[in-house]
Structure 1
Amino acid sequence: MGWSLIRVWTLLVYLFMFLPIAVVVLLAFNANQFGSFPMTGLSLRWFDELFQNEAILRALRTSLTLGALTALISTTLGVLASLALVRYDIPFRNTISTILIAPILVPEVVLAVALLLFLQFLGIHKSFTLLLFGHVIFTLPFVILVVQARLVGIRRDVEEAAMSLGASPIQTFFTITLPLLTPAVAAGGLFAFTISFDDITDTLFWKPGGVETVPTQIFAMLRNSISPEINALGTLMILITAGLPLIGLAISRKLAMRRDRAG
């Protein structure tokens, strides 16, 4: 009886979480301008109007550019930091690791306000570069945690065997370590991109005037009225943020299967 109640409660929680998302996706294909049930028919009209809206397209390009740059920088720094913290006995290693992971322990609003006040104290004006810098700070810990977890599982003697055969540390990294780290690097990059693409709290504080991302554009559109284009844009965001991790998971599994066959 107890387990049955837990299953029912779990089902209700999942319905409460995902049913509104399903309604948004369903209304994106509604032929009627007003989101009401029963629906009068199915149509791609709102997606067509979405891709004709220059403000939305500009916000989408900004989000994709910001997410890609954030993923690239966070992944590069995350791999280097993980190598230093796991493979080398550097001074104050635990302290450095705590500092690097600290941004995910601090509430987003606190982090956003703190960085904004710090920039104002330094007299630095908002810009796209500073917005990118803030996103890297927030996403870097996720990359470090994922890469570190994978790096700990890679046997050190494999790298030592390569160096004993004449390979330099750089050659060993690119021929041995990096291929073994590829699933974690890909997962960390997807994490960074997805978090950056979806972020609204930090972006509202850090973005310069005239620059809008997809979440902030939706927020601005909701101030005026609930347009069916918002449902279409929300559906597009769901496809991007949910589709990329699934693609990354499929790629990681494929790479792992190839590695096991080669082994």
Structure 2
Amino acid sequence: MGWNIIRVVTLLVYLFMFLPVVIVILLAFNSSQFGSFPLTGFTFHWFDVLWNDASIVRALKTSLILGSMTALVSTTLGIMAALALVRYNFPGKNFIATLLIAPILVPEVVLAVALLLFLRWLELPKNFFMLLLGHVIFTLPFVVLVVQARLTGIRRDYEEASMSLGANPLQTFFQITLPLMLPAVLAGLLFAFTISFDDVTGTLFWKPAGTETVPTQIFAMLRNSISPQINALGTVMIAITVLLPLLGAALTRRLSRTPQS
């Protein structure tokens, strides 16, 4: 009886979490311009409207460029930070490790306001580079944690054996260490992209005037009315943020099973 209650409660929690998402997806294909049930017909018209809306296409391009650049910078810095924290001992190591993880512990709105005030104190205008910097600060801890966990499980003997056979540290990293931790690197890359692509709180504070991402574009559209375009744009966003992690998980699993030569 107790387990049955737990199953029912669990099912209700999942319904509460995901039913609104399902409703948004269904309404995106509804032929009616009013978001109501029952559905009056099936259509791709609202996606065609999205494609022909210059502001939405521009916001999507901005989100993809920003997410890709954030993922690239955060992953590169995350790999170097994880290598330093796992493989080397130096003064202030614990402090630096805590500093790298701190953005996860601080509420995002506090972090957004703090960075905005810091930029104003430096008398720097808001621009795309500052927006990228904010996203990197917010996503870097996730990459560090994922790569660091993987790197801890890689024995140092492999790297020492490589260098004893004549390879320099750079060759050892690219031929031994990086292939062994590649699943974690790809996971961190996808984490950084997805978090950056979905971010709305920090982006609202950091974005320059005239620059919109997909989340901020949806937020701006909601100020006027709830239109089918919002449902269609939300569906596109859901597809990107769900399919990419699934693809990354499948690729990571495949790489983990592939024997390293």
Residue of structure 2 equivalent to 1:252: 252
Query: Which deviations, in whole Å up to 9, do the C-alpha atoms of 1:37-66 show, x marking residues without a partner?
Result: 111110000001110000000000000000
- Whether 1:82 and 2:63 are equivalent positions in the alignment is no
Residue of structure 2 equivalent to 1:179: 179
Residue of structure 1 equivalent to 2:144: 144
Query: Which deviations, in whole Å up to 9, do the C-alpha atoms of 1:88-147 show, x marking residues without a partner?
Result: 112111110000000010000100011111111111110000000000000000000000
Residue of structure 2 equivalent to 1:40: 40
AA paired with 1:35? G
Classify the secondary structure of the residue corresponding to 1:123. coil
TM-score in terms of structure 1 length: 0.98
What is the aligned-residue RMSD (CA, Å)? 0.8
Distance 1:202 1:35 in 2: 29
For residues 197-208 of structure 1, the aligned pairs below 5 Å read 197-208=197-208
Residue of structure 2 equivalent to 1:55: 55
Distance 1:116 1:255 in 2: 40
Distance 1:132 1:214 in 2: 15
Distance 2:15 2:43 in 1: 26
AA paired with 1:238? I
List gaps (5 residues or longer) in structure 2: none
AA paired with 1:235? T
For residues 61-210 of structure 1, the aligned pairs below 5 Å read 61-210=61-210
AA paired with 1:221? M
Deviation at 1:221, TM superposition (A): 0.3
Distance 1:10 1:108 in 2: 29
List gaps (5 residues or longer) in structure 1: none
Query: Which deviations, in whole Å up to 9, do the C-alpha atoms of 1:193-214 show, x marking residues without a partner?
Result: 0000000000000001000000
AA paired with 2:134? G
Deviation at 1:2, TM superposition (A): 1.8
Deviation at 1:3, TM superposition (A): 1.8
Distance 2:60 2:145 in 1: 29
Distance 1:205 1:10 in 2: 36
Aligned residue pairs: how many? 261
Distance 2:257 2:117 in 1: 49
Residue of structure 1 equivalent to 2:229: 229
Query: Which deviations, in whole Å up to 9, do the C-alpha atoms of 1:151-202 show, x marking residues without a partner?
Result: 0000000110000000000000000000011100000000000000000000
TM-score in terms of structure 2 length: 0.99
Distance 1:28 1:225 in 2: 15
Distance 1:163 1:147 in 2: 22
